[in-house]
Amino acid sequence: MDAIDLLSFSRVQEAFKEDKKWLDWCDTCTLVLPSGKSAHLEAGYAKGSGKELIIFGLFLKGERDVMYGFADNLFRNCEIAEMFQWLKRPVQ
């Protein structure tokens, strides 16, 4: 079974709609690294929908992605306190 086959199931379509509902609801999306293709696609959808995007986690040496430049902020896994402080800031 591939992704096209998977999307033909009604339960999978329901799961997609539920995930999308919460992406549409949020004001900030956090991509937690390491993560897979689906999480990156969700982050891109959120950012493209006008949401803030932050990326948090392990930024491994040798793994680079210039598209992380879309993020409103990036935090290494040792910067969780800073991330929460940033999230508490007044939004303009």
Tens digits of residue pLDDT in 17-46 = 999 999 999 999 999 999 999 999 999 999
Percent of the chain beyond pLDDT 90? 90
pLDDT on residue 64 = 86
Residue with tokens 């902020």: 73
Q: Give pairs for 69-73: CB < 8 Å, separation 24+.
A: 70/44, 71/31, 71/47
Residue 34, preceding peptide bond in cis (omega within 30° of 0): yes
CB atoms within 10 A of CB 46: 21
More confident position, 64 or 85: 85
Report which DSSP code applies to 90: P
Q: Which two tokens stand for residue 87?
A: 């999230």
Q: How far apart are CA 87 and CA 33, in angstroms?
A: 18
Boundaries of every domain in the chain:
27-87
Count of residues for the chain? Answer: 92
Residue with tokens 């096209």: 4
